[in-house]
Amino acid sequence: MSRKIRLREALREAMSEEMRRDPNVLIMGEEVALYNGAYKVSQGMLEEFGAKRVIDTPIAELGFTAIGVGAATAGLRPIIEFMTWNFAVLAFDQIVNHAAKIYSMSAGQINCPIVFRGPTGAAGQLGQQHSQTFESWMANVPGLKVVSTVNPYDAKGLLKTAIRDNDPVCFMESEVCYSDEGEVPTDEYLIPLGVADVKRQGTDVTLVSFNKMVKVCLSAADELAKMGISAEVVDLRSIRPLDHETVIKSVKKTNRLVVVDESWPFAGVSAEVCYRVQKYAFDYLDAPITRVNGADTSVPFSSTLVDAWMPNPEKVIKAVKAVMYR
């Protein structure tokens, strides 16, 4: 059986189910307990699990992230919630220099089973310091796994897997999508990390994306269908490990590729996808690969400029036409 629930509810179910299953799982972060979470993702968890496992912290990302990393190396499985990944910049020393490296530096003797989660990317008029996209930053670090999704079904299955993983996992969400609804089974299920998903079948062009840009691609695909262009939409879901095999299989079918990535174009996820496709599927391409990214500037505050900065269906359609009609 399945039912429609919101993204925030899917994330909450994943954490609650894992906390019931394993007493070593806990969550800590700003306002996760008494306030039920800044976005109400942890609503009701304090009442069920108590203050020793649902822990409100000071506004000190470096401090509570360090506590989480230490707890993970001692055998617990912490979930560290960042109110936004923009605030996680303050804790990068712990994530990059400690969580990501402890297994290697200990010659495999010490694991760090920890999940760092929270929203990433632009969410309207939040200004330059609160609108950054961090998937490529984290995926650049060996030792970290990176997941980025807004689909409730995917989010629940992937978060449960991430919590059980013995490596540190950066779990990226979107604050503008916490109310999105989707079908989620009532029975337990897991989704493996490193497996992309074809969200829409197509024959003429492949659109590859992740997180809320998948919604942009699906909207573009609907409009393209009215023009007689069949677009296949691939949701990466995991950024590291990256499932390029699913992308290549799609490109071998459609012979054209547009990669849509909210983050900056330089050295981002879209650049890595383009590299792997040209390496492994160059002979199948009937047109150069095209990318649609956020503009190569910090995100402006003006709502008009934010709209101009962000990838949107119109930009995707324009890119598809460029690879279709050469």
CA distance linking residue 38 with residue 160, whole number of Å: 21
Instruction: Give 101's pLDDT tier (boundaries 50, 70, 90).
Output: very high
Instruction: Give 107's pLDDT tier (boundaries 50, 70, 90).
Output: very high
Please report the pLDDT score of residue 208 as a whole number.
98
1 has a pLDDT exceeding 90: no
CATH topology identical between 2-185 and 197-324: yes
Instruction: Give 87's pLDDT tier (boundaries 50, 70, 90).
Output: very high
The CATH topology of domain 197-324 is Rossmann fold (3.40.50)
Which residues in 1-10 are b (16+ Cβ under 10 Å) and which e? eeeebbbbbb
What is the side-by-side strand order in the sheet with 238-240? 54-56, 25-29, 77-81, 115-119, 169-173, 145-148, 238-240
Q: What is the pLDDT of residues 277-320, one digit of tens each?
A: 999 999 999 999 999 999 999 988 888 998 899 999 999 999 99
Please report the pLDDT score of residue 128 as a whole number.
86
Please report the pLDDT score of residue 131 as a whole number.
85
126 has a pLDDT exceeding 90: no
Please report the pLDDT score of residue 129 as a whole number.
86
- pLDDT, average across residues 115-136: 91
Please report the pLDDT score of residue 303 as a whole number.
87
CA distance linking residue 83 with residue 28, whole number of Å: 11
Please report the pLDDT score of residue 223 as a whole number.
98
CA distance linking residue 254 with residue 246, whole number of Å: 13
Bridging pattern class, strands 145-148 and 238-240: antiparallel
- Kind and range of the H or E run holding 252: helix 244-254
CA distance linking residue 207 with residue 289, whole number of Å: 10
- pLDDT, average across residues 55-75: 98
Q: Which of 9, 81, 98, 130 is catalytic?
A: 130
Instruction: Give 127's pLDDT tier (boundaries 50, 70, 90).
Output: confident
- pLDDT, average across residues 181-191: 97
Q: Which of 13, 18, 30, 61 is catalytic?
A: 61
Q: What is the pLDDT of residues 213-270, one digit of tens each?
A: 999 999 999 999 999 999 999 999 999 999 999 999 999 999 999 999 999 999 999 9
CA distance linking residue 66 with residue 114, whole number of Å: 11
Spatial CA neighbour of 175 closest among 123, 235, 117:
123
- Kind and range of the H or E run holding 290: strand 290-293
The model's pTM is: 0.96
Helix (H, G, I), strand (E, B) or coil at 168: coil
- Kind and range of the H or E run holding 278: helix 269-281
Output DSSP code: residue 130: G
Centroid of chain to Cα 145: 11
Beta bridge pairs of residue 145: 169
244 classed as catalytic: no
98 classed as catalytic: no
Let me know if domain 2-185 sits in CATH 1.10.10.60.
Answer: no
Domain ranges (residues) in the chain: 2-185, 197-324
How far from 178 is each of 32, 38, 247, 304, CA to CA, in Å? 15, 11, 27, 23
